[in-house]
Chain A
Amino acid sequence: MGVSVIVFALVQLVPGDPIRLALGTRFDQETYDALLERSGLDQPLVQQYFNWAGRALTGDLGVSFRSGETVTSLIAERLPATLTLAFASIVVALAIAIPLGTVSALRPRSLVDRFATVISQFGISVPDFWMAIVLILVFAGTLGWLPSGGYVPLSEDPLGWLQRLILPALVTGTVSGSVITRFVRSSVLEALGSDHVRTAQAKGLRTRQVFGWHVLRNALLPLVTVTGVQLAYLLSGVVVVEIVFSWPGLGQLALQAVQARDYPVLQGAILLFAVVFLVINLVVDVLYTAIDPRIRR
């Protein structure tokens, strides 16, 4: 509810007249007024909000000013691409972060640790579009191994799907992975130094057991949180990366909606992002109770 008000208000704050943009440069007042009335933009804002929110509750997010398609169908069209990229990125991110973070926590201030710090600092600070362009230049341009962008559904062309997925997933995965590496390192370090790990060692457990059940098991908690946050961020569309790789995801849809002042689409997309955040937070909380008995009641 609160989210919907904020979404609605923010979108209204965007300057520009959607009707003018939809009609182009040449139009008469009559068409303008007719369209204004049809879109409901002539009504007071509060009225507009309740109209929108009421319909949104029933799953009707309105109709795009620009294309005339329903917002739900536009979003549904883009959703598979976004889901694919988000989950692929998280896989890449975890594949980087867990080993790198763990190894650097096990050998703090060692060469590996320093290397990991540099890599993750690089991943965090390098702009993703730059990394995307460099990867395209190298792998699509010079080497010609992979296509430079686009998206095909898995069901149509599995190989093409994979080939087109690798580069964007690598870019967003590296960025998220860099953030997660930091968390893995610090939570493993913390777990390593904890009293109960010393108790486990004093029991005479094998190193593998101490590490698996006493260090990693406890380091998992912060990892779940940060992975959830990263996944939510990836699901809300990584606008820049999607554009560089012409990836038809939600980020691109939202950007186009902003440019066209296409309020219904924009509101629908933002509302979806908000819901995604809420759902992921819920999932993280549920996972927490599964992992941490202290939260169970």
Chain B
Amino acid sequence: MSAPTPVLEVEDLRVRLRTPRGPADVVNGLSYSVGPGETVAVVGESGSGKSVSVLALLGLLPRGVATVTGRALLQGEDLLTMPPERLRQVRGPGAGMVFQDPMTSLNPVLTIGRQLVEGLRAHSDMDKAAARRRAAELLGEVGLPDPDGALDRYPHELSGGMRQRVIIAIALSNSPALLIADEATTALDVTVQAQIIDLVEKLQADHGTGVIWITHDLGVVAGIADRVLVMYGGRCVEDGTVDDVLEHPAHPYTRGLLGALPDLAQPAVDGVVPDLATVPGTPPAPTDLPPGCVFWPRCPVRGDARCETEQPPLVQIGPSSGALPHRAATWCTETSALGTESSGEAR
């Protein structure tokens, strides 16, 4: 699955934020790569460091607050050490980004056309008229009805789904090698969500774009991803091909996430639908991470003496179905030691 030269190669990415309650280690040693045409899904709860880890790549975290270390090679160039002007040139043609909330991610006082045109013109010497024509083309590509008319519309005149298409058009306007979708469909209803996913897959097939898809929706992951990376407490706790991770989850946290999926096939007992399984508790505060396994405070298994005190490394576990190793960071690799994860257990 992974191509010889990855579009993006992240090594030991760490992000530390300065907060009033002391330094917060939001991302702690994240490594992954994205090949051309490949989709990597990054999964985790709110606060697991998913968004921060990608914002850090493009230098979009607030200045003076975040310290980012590690390496992030985009087509061979390190994003984290490049001079600001080079980084500006890379934003757009190198990596386009789609943000979570279509309602706030567009400038309310500028027309759609203007917001597309300025992005195009920042990276080429296109004249205004040419950029406008290209903008209309792009809006057509993302399936916006009446692209020419839409150029003169303001964001508030479009629905959420349409705005998200505009944001995708902006992200794709400079044909990026990498597309980062940060919870791009979370704020949309399910039918629109499916359309947007189709759209990204189609564009990906046409342009060979590598995609990082950040989400907490495992249904989306199953539909779109080649590879999955599960994040918890700023660490990667499990990664592998989508089949390996979703069908043979090894980390207790991944199992918990999958157990928390509602199962429509499960029959109601005496007319009562079983409660959803949940992972009890909340993620650890990044200012105060546990010394051992990050998941230990909430873990239902705790099957090893080292869980509390020693941080488990991310190692290959068991056989892998695809070309990628299936890795997990847990001491509890014995399947027998892990409880069953069926959602009926919550009763």
Point out the residue from A193, A194, A197, A204 that lies within 8 Å of B119, measured CB to CB.
Answer: A204
Report Cα–Cα, A214/B101, bound state, in Å.
17
Flag if A201 contacts B60 (CB, 8 Å). yes
Q: Is A202 on the interface with B (CB-CB < 8 A)?
A: yes
Nearest CB in chain A: distance from B54 CB, A: 10
Report Cα–Cα, A257/B105, bound state, in Å.
55
Chain A residues within 8 Å of B174, by CB = 204
Nearest CB in chain B: distance from A186 CB, A: 16
Flag if B97 contacts A209 (CB, 8 Å). no
Chain B residues within 8 Å of A202, by CB = 58, 60, 91-92, 96-97, 99, 171
User: What residue in chain A is nearest B104 (Cβ atoms)?
Assistant: A195
User: What residue in chain B is nearest A220 (Cβ atoms)?
Assistant: B109
Flag if A196 contacts B104 (CB, 8 Å). yes
Flag if B108 contacts A205 (CB, 8 Å). no
Known pairs A293-B154, A294-B156; A203 contacts B91 (CB<8 A): yes
Using a Cβ cutoff of 8 Å, how many contacts connect chains A and B?
84
Flag if A195 contacts B99 (CB, 8 Å). yes
| Additional 9 contacts, C-beta under 8 A, given A205-B118, A218-B107 | A194-B104, A195-B99, A198-B55, A199-B99, A201-B91, A204-B91, A204-B92, A217-B109, A218-B109
Chain A residues within 8 Å of B171, by CB = 202
Chain A residues within 8 Å of B90, by CB = 204
Chain B residues within 8 Å of A201, by CB = 60, 91
Q: CB within 8 Å of A: which residues of B?
A: 55, 58, 60, 62, 88-93, 96-97, 99, 101, 104-111, 118-119, 122-123, 154, 156, 167, 170-171, 173-174
Point out the residue from A203, A213, A292, A294 that lies within 8 Å of B92, measured CB to CB.
Answer: A203
Known pairs A195-B99, A199-B105; A293 contacts B156 (CB<8 A): yes
Nearest CB in chain A: distance from B276 CB, A: 31
Within 8 A of B (CB), among A179-234: 193-207, 209, 213-214, 217-218
Report Cα–Cα, A197/B108, bound state, in Å.
11
Q: Is A36 on the interface with B (CB-CB < 8 A)?
A: no
Flag if B60 contacts A206 (CB, 8 Å). no
Within 8 A of B (CB), among A252-297: 291-294
User: What residue in chain A is nearest B95 (Cβ atoms)?
Assistant: A202
Point out the residue from A193, A200, A204, A291 that lies within 8 Å of B107, measured CB to CB.
Answer: A200
User: What residue in chain A is nearest B108 (Cβ atoms)?
Assistant: A294
Nearest CB in chain A: distance from B92 CB, A: 4
Point out the residue from B89, B109, B167 that lies within 8 Å of A291, measured CB to CB.
Answer: B109
Nearest CB in chain A: distance from B20 CB, A: 11
User: What residue in chain A is nearest B85 (Cβ atoms)?
Assistant: A206
Query: How many A residues touch B, CB cutoff 8 Å?
Result: 24
Chain B residues within 8 Å of A196, by CB = 104-108
Nearest CB in chain A: distance from B251 CB, A: 32
What are 17 A-B contacts defined by CB distance under 8 Å?
Answer: A199-B99, A200-B107, A201-B91, A202-B96, A203-B91, A203-B92, A204-B93, A204-B123, A206-B122, A207-B88, A209-B118, A213-B110, A217-B107, A218-B108, A291-B109, A292-B109, A293-B154
Chain A residues within 8 Å of B60, by CB = 198, 201-202
User: Chain B contact residues: over half helix, strand or loop, or mixed?
Assistant: loop
Report Cα–Cα, A207/B122, bound state, in Å.
11
Q: CB within 8 Å of B: which residues of A?
A: 193-207, 209, 213-214, 217-218, 291-294
Flag if B99 contacts A213 (CB, 8 Å). no
Flag if A205 contacts B119 (CB, 8 Å). yes
Report Cα–Cα, A203/B91, bound state, in Å.
6
Report Cα–Cα, A193/B88, bound state, in Å.
19
Chain A residues within 8 Å of B154, by CB = 293-294
Flag if B93 contacts A203 (CB, 8 Å). no
Chain A residues within 8 Å of B88, by CB = 204-207
Chain A residues within 8 Å of B156, by CB = 293-294
User: What residue in chain B is nearest A192 (Cβ atoms)?
Assistant: B62
Chain B residues within 8 Å of A292, by CB = 108-109
Report Cα–Cα, A193/B171, bound state, in Å.
20
Report Cα–Cα, A207/B154, bound state, in Å.
23
User: What residue in chain B is nearest A197 (Cβ atoms)?
Assistant: B107
Nearest CB in chain A: distance from B128 CB, A: 14
Nearest CB in chain A: distance from B179 CB, A: 11
User: What residue in chain A is nearest B110 (Cβ atoms)?
Assistant: A213
User: What residue in chain A is nearest B91 (Cβ atoms)?
Assistant: A204
Report Cα–Cα, A200/B107, bound state, in Å.
8
Chain A residues within 8 Å of B104, by CB = 194-196
Chain B residues within 8 Å of A198, by CB = 55, 60, 99, 105
Report Cα–Cα, A203/B174, bound state, in Å.
9
Chain A residues within 8 Å of B96, by CB = 202
Return the 8 tightest CB-CB contacts between A and B, nearest first.
A204-B92, A204-B91, A203-B119, A195-B104, A196-B107, A293-B154, A202-B97, A195-B105
User: What residue in chain B is nearest A292 (Cβ atoms)?
Assistant: B109
Report Cα–Cα, A198/B96, bound state, in Å.
12
Nearest CB in chain B: distance from A192 CB, A: 9
Flag if B108 contacts A199 (CB, 8 Å). no
Nearest CB in chain B: distance from A25 CB, A: 65
Chain A residues within 8 Å of B55, by CB = 198
Report Cα–Cα, A172/B105, bound state, in Å.
40
Flag if B108 contacts A293 (CB, 8 Å). yes
Report Cα–Cα, A194/B99, bound state, in Å.
12
Nearest CB in chain A: distance from B228 CB, A: 24
Point out the residue from B109, B111, B118 that lies within 8 Å of A203, measured CB to CB.
Answer: B118
Flag if A214 contacts B58 (CB, 8 Å). no
Point out the residue from A194, A195, A204, A293 that lies within 8 Å of B122, measured CB to CB.
Answer: A204
Report Cα–Cα, A207/B97, bound state, in Å.
18
Flag if B122 contacts A209 (CB, 8 Å). yes
User: What residue in chain A is nearest B100 (Cβ atoms)?
Assistant: A195
Report Cα–Cα, A202/B107, bound state, in Å.
13
Chain A residues within 8 Å of B62, by CB = 193
